[in-house]
Amino acid sequence: AQSVAQPEDQVNVAEGNPLTVKCTYSVSGNPYLFWYVQYPNRGLQFLLKYITGDNLVKGSYGFEAEFNKSQTSFHLKKPSALVSDSALYFCAVRDFSGFNRDDKIIFGKGTRLHILP
Amino acid sequence: KAGVTQTPRYLIKTRGQQVTLSCSPISGHRSVSWYQQTPGQGLQFLFEYFSETQRNKGNFPGRFSGRQFSNSRSEMNVSTLELGDSALYLCASSQSEGVLNEQFFGPGTRLTVL
């Protein structure tokens, strides 16, 4: 069964500094990985996804994530944080086992990102 | 293009009652998924519908059910409500089947069970 972990409940970063939100996963097949963001009083928004190909994936709002198969990680990064990046971030994984119709998407518990002005 | 809409936005029910939540996907989207979000459990997948058929189901009891209509609108029903069902219920739509496609989420329905 697949699982995903976000080891940090909260991350604090000063505005202008680089940020990293960590995500590790466990799957039996090939992982499909996603990052979503939830702003206060707004629905979840898709940021980026990794299906196959280049390990560095670029997404919305200047975010990017690096797929690392050996470390089973998919950390979210941004070179220079903005106060408006403060939100709740979710990593998600789907174990693509080909013909397994029971492969569901699993979300991490979320990491609250605080960007300090 | 209008986004995903969910009604009602807020609901207060008592234990033992049942509730029906509604979701209208983005026009042209045929896949609808439902999620439960709670502070303790995070975001958990409930089920996915495509072309009026349930394609996938999470690990929730049979009290949680859903359906999709021919216009892709979806409803979720929870019977015999329990206190632990208090949560934000999110609906997401995508153009085609499968959660590999980018999902667009609605604002959610906040259910409080007293």
What would the pLDDT profile of A64-83 be if each residue is shown by its tens digit? 999 999 999 999 999 999 99
Using CA coordinates, name the residue in chain B closest to A31.
Answer: B100
Does the beta carbon of A90 lie under 8 angstroms from any beta carbon of chain B?
Answer: yes
pLDDT (average), residues B51-61: 90
**Residue A26: CB atoms within 10 Å:** 14
User: What local confidence, expressed as pLDDT, does residue B42 receive?
Assistant: 87
**Nearest chain B residue (CA) to A43:** B107
H or E element that contains B113: strand B109-113
Asked if the model's pLDDT at residue B10 lies above 80, the reply is yes
Who's near A79: CB < 8 A, 6+ residues apart? A18, A62
Q: Say yes or no to pLDDT of A92 above 70.
A: yes
Is A106 an 8 Å CB contact of chain B? yes
pLDDT at A102 over 60: no
CB contact under 8 A, A42 and B4: no
The residue type at B75: E
- Range with lowest mean pLDDT among A27-41, A63-77, B58-72: A27-41
Average pLDDT, chain A: 90
pLDDT of B101 reads 73
Percentage, residues of chain A above pLDDT 90: 70
